[in-house]
Chain A
Amino acid sequence: MAKFLLSLVRIFRPLLNGRGIDFNSMMVIVETKLLMDQRRVYMNWRQGKTKENTNHLRVALLFYGFMGIVMGSMIYFVDNFLTIMIFTHAYILFMMAMILITDFSSVLLDTTDNQVILPRPVSSKTLFLARLVHILLYLLQFTFAIAAGSWLFTFLKYGFITGLALIFTTMLTVLLAIFVTYFLYLAILHFSNEQRIREIITYFQIFMMVFFTLGLQVFPRLLNVIDITQAIDLKGYMFVFPPVWMALTVDAFRLFQFDMVHIVMMVLSILVPVAGFWILFQFLAPGFASRLSALQGTANVVKRKEDRDDKIERGSLSERISAVACSTAVEKGSFAFTWKITGRDRNFRMQFYPGLAYILVFFFIFVLRGNKSIAENWQQLPETNNYLWLIYLSMLSVSSSLTLVAFNESYGASWIYHSTPVQQPGEIILGTIKSLFIKFFIPIYLILFTIAVSIWGWHVADDFLLGFFNNLFCFLVLASLTDHYLPFSRQPDTKQQAGRFVVILVQFILVGGLVGLHYLLISRSLLFYVIIPVLILGIVLLLKKLRTLSWSKISI
């Protein structure tokens, strides 16, 4: 597809050549960039094996294509044209902006361009145009994947002209998405620095993954609640939203009705993206690259320093906690180290936080399960014992951090464990485990506890107390069952060990068994105080076992 689009660009050769633009160089750059796109690993597809020759782009496109067909089929089933069109355009706008911000940001913000291409005889206009054409081609591929389903069903149901109009407004929507994203970046760049942008993008990416996970699980259930077939009542403020303009533009062509409202909307839907794009091309973009390269490195040094001095004085949070939670120096070091890196490493956050979304997903599935509507389920909630799920859900998500913590981009730095006189690597592992438990499990557990108390009342407190020890016990059992890797010592994307499945199985049996036990005892809460000491004994033994792990037990 990229090749086909590239040959389409050649048609514009007479238009683009000259005036400081070297068409051939531009095509060479675009071609190379498209090739690199296929090799980039897309953030949504990180997990699993990455073979060198996989065309990651194709996998991503197929996924979006599939979603597009599902979304498009709604055009067929929903009869209110305006509503479904607004929905479709909003979906396209949202998806494109998200793709631009998340997957494509690495390309937009890539300063390798400056180092590789700027020393070559390529004018900045050529480079800019190459970037632009590349972005357009890239987005065209995604536009097609996302919107082809909608186009297809519109052609089928509403005929040729409406279909064409939709294709046209889709393109305008994409232009708008580009403009909005670029503008967003420029604004952030203006007030802040590159580092900050990368941070912000990380959060967008996390949001995106949460959105997908949640969307796929929860969306079908919500459909019963919101009645999408109802006509949207177009109120004044709604005319601010571009999807409404686009929808009305398509509507005008469907009905062949060109009254005042339709024409104004049509003008807006064409004028705003085109004007935005013109402003972008004329004023904003040329400064973008230079601003970005100027920002590299220098800007953010000063502020950080004050920050650091302050921290050293009172000791960072992790260090203060480690003083209480850990006994030996090695353990304390490992505790603070894990705490800090898990907070700063982008890849860790990217893989860990979306997993937390499963708490929400399971909340919907388990807590609100039943045949009645969500609202009815919600009302009956206090009469059920479903808070048990809340107690043990946090476990499932947090346990993923145990495996994730072994991976890091700079895994090579782990030579430090081997060059220092560490007698019992178990202390390092224990420090890490404690760090993960305190940093991730306890806050989540407290939040869930608060939620549970507000729904069920204080009588769940002793359940949460038992749950706490149960969870800690499970967490430690898992920690001793998995292969023991030192924190941040493994190369990302290396294959998971074969034993992984067994661990998951044990995890489910263990958690299931403990939840079952808890469930059986739920009305005899006095017995909890018999079990808790047993659990504490188990916890102490497990802690001891982990601490005394020897080098022979450490996987490398």
Chain B
Amino acid sequence: MSVITIDRLCKVYDGNYVLKYISLSFEAGQIIGYIGPNGAGKSTTIKILTGIIGDFEGNVHVLGMDVRKDSIAIKQKIGYIPENAALYDVLTPVEYLNFIGRLYGMELESIKKKSTELLHLFDLGTKMDQRMSGFSKGMRQKVLLISGLMHNPEIIFLDEPLSGLDANAVILVKEILSQLKKAGKTIFYSSHIMDVVEKLSDRIVIINKGEVIADGTFESLQQQASSGSLENIFTALTGNQEHESTAGAFISIIND
């Protein structure tokens, strides 16, 4: 059964279509890599799927529910970890997680237990009771990851989840994602880091200028573009092959 169905989704900002008739559906238990150049409409899609933006054309169902009508029930069952790590940084991680956990209707006891243990796992055990204003980007990202996963969601939406994390944390998060997948969770993953997407994803969707331009497994995309890495496929498909000449122009301007 498909957990996400998108049917002719369009979104207009200031008279411009940022999403044009996107139709997709995803099965449970997959890791979906959602990639595209800046401004392609990745974050907008995720915000619509997570019920944050309710103003769009077309139909979108998540876990069988209409995102327009049942956004609250959907939000209860999904986790969302956004890109630009906004959090209330005058709070300590424990206070912040208590807050978010209770918004998910979790019991204080279970939040306390889970958050302390998870923070320890992420090496934030000693910083648990310090305010997050002094935290690095990676530390904040860890807290955000916990806040989006603590309530054991069915589908997890991640927008650049690895930004700012150190190498060890990246490996840990990648491992967490594959184990979540084994547990039957669906992971919807948007990123710029191609080799991570390449290795992790069961299915890769590439969008450009609001349209789906490729969709399939890494292998099928490879055949489609008849080239090696995802990076090459990506440039081939998004039609941006002027990199070489742009780089050339760059050098010649510096030399002036």
Contacts and interface: CB of A to CB of B under 8 A. Distances in A.
Interface in A5-45: 24-25, 28-29, 32, 35-36, 39-40
B171 interface: no
Nearest to B99: A32
Chain B CB within 10 A, most for which of A40, A114, A115: A115
A114 B50 CA distance: 13
Contact of B75 (A29, A112, A120): A120
A28 B99 contact: yes
A184 interface: no
B75 A116 contact: no
A116 B86 contact: yes
Interface stretch (B27-35, B100-108, B235-243): B100-108
Interface in B58-92: 72-73, 75-76, 80, 82, 84, 86-88, 90-91
Contacts of B87: 112, 116
B95 interface: yes
A123 B70 CA distance: 10
A118 B52 contact: yes
A298 interface: yes
A298 B52 CA distance: 18
A112 B104 CA distance: 18
Interface string B44-57: 00000011100000
Contacts of B99: 28-29, 32
B4 to A, nearest CB: 16
B256 interface: no
B88 A120 contact: no
A51 to B, nearest CB: 12
Nearest to B76: A121
Interface in A99-118: 111-112, 114-118
A245 to B, nearest CB: 39
A418 B87 CA distance: 32
B250 interface: no
B14 A298 contact: yes
A310 interface: no
Given A52-B131, A121-B75, A112 B88 contact: yes
Contacts of B91: 32, 35-36, 39
Nearest to B89: A112
B88 A32 contact: yes
Nearest to B13: A298
B217 to A, nearest CB: 29
A237 B28 CA distance: 70
B88 A36 contact: yes
Nearest to A119: B80
Given A39-B131, A115-B84, A116-B88, A122 B13 contact: no
A115 B87 CA distance: 8
Chain A CB within 10 A, most for which of B52, B73, B87, B99: B99
Given A25-B102, A28-B102, A28-B103, A121 B73 contact: yes
Contact of A115 (B73, B86, B102, B105): B86
Given A32-B88, A32-B91, A35-B91, A120 B104 contact: yes
Given A28-B99, A122-B103, A36 B90 contact: yes
A496 B38 CA distance: 44
A7 to B, nearest CB: 17
B75 to A, nearest CB: 4
Contacts of B105: 24-25, 121
Contacts of A116: 86-88, 100
A398 B158 CA distance: 50
| Contact count band on B | 20 to 34
A40 to B, nearest CB: 7
A39 B50 CA distance: 31
A35 B52 contact: no
B50 A119 contact: yes
Contacts of A39: 90-91, 131
Interface in B4-22: 13-14
Contacts of A40: 90
Contacts of B103: 25, 28-29, 117, 120-122
Contacts of A35: 91, 95
B192 to A, nearest CB: 19
Contacts of B75: 119-122
B140 to A, nearest CB: 12
Contacts of B95: 32, 35
Contacts of B14: 298
A525 B59 CA distance: 86
A52 B82 CA distance: 28
A120 B87 CA distance: 13
A202 B251 CA distance: 43
A121 B82 contact: no
A29 B99 CA distance: 7
Contacts of B90: 36, 39-40
Contacts of B52: 114, 118-119
A112 B13 CA distance: 21
B102 A24 contact: yes
Nearest to A299: B14
A176 B25 CA distance: 51
Given A112-B86, A117-B103, A122 B80 contact: no
Chain A CB within 10 A, most for which of B88, B95, B100: B88
Nearest to B100: A120
Contacts of B131: 39, 52
A238 to B, nearest CB: 44
A32 B90 CA distance: 11
Contacts of A111: 86
Nearest to B50: A119
Contacts of B88: 32, 36, 112, 116
Nearest to A112: B86
A55 B75 CA distance: 35
Contacts of B148: 119
A264 to B, nearest CB: 45
B86 A121 contact: no
B74 to A, nearest CB: 8
Contacts of B50: 119
Nearest to B73: A121
B191 to A, nearest CB: 18
Nearest to A115: B86
9 contacts: A25-B105, A28-B103, A39-B91, A114-B52, A115-B82, A115-B84, A116-B87, A118-B52, A121-B104
Given A35-B91, A116-B100, A117-B103, 16 more contacts: A24-B105, A25-B103, A29-B99, A35-B95, A36-B90, A39-B131, A112-B88, A114-B52, A115-B86, A116-B86, A119-B50, A119-B82, A120-B75, A121-B72, A121-B73, A298-B14
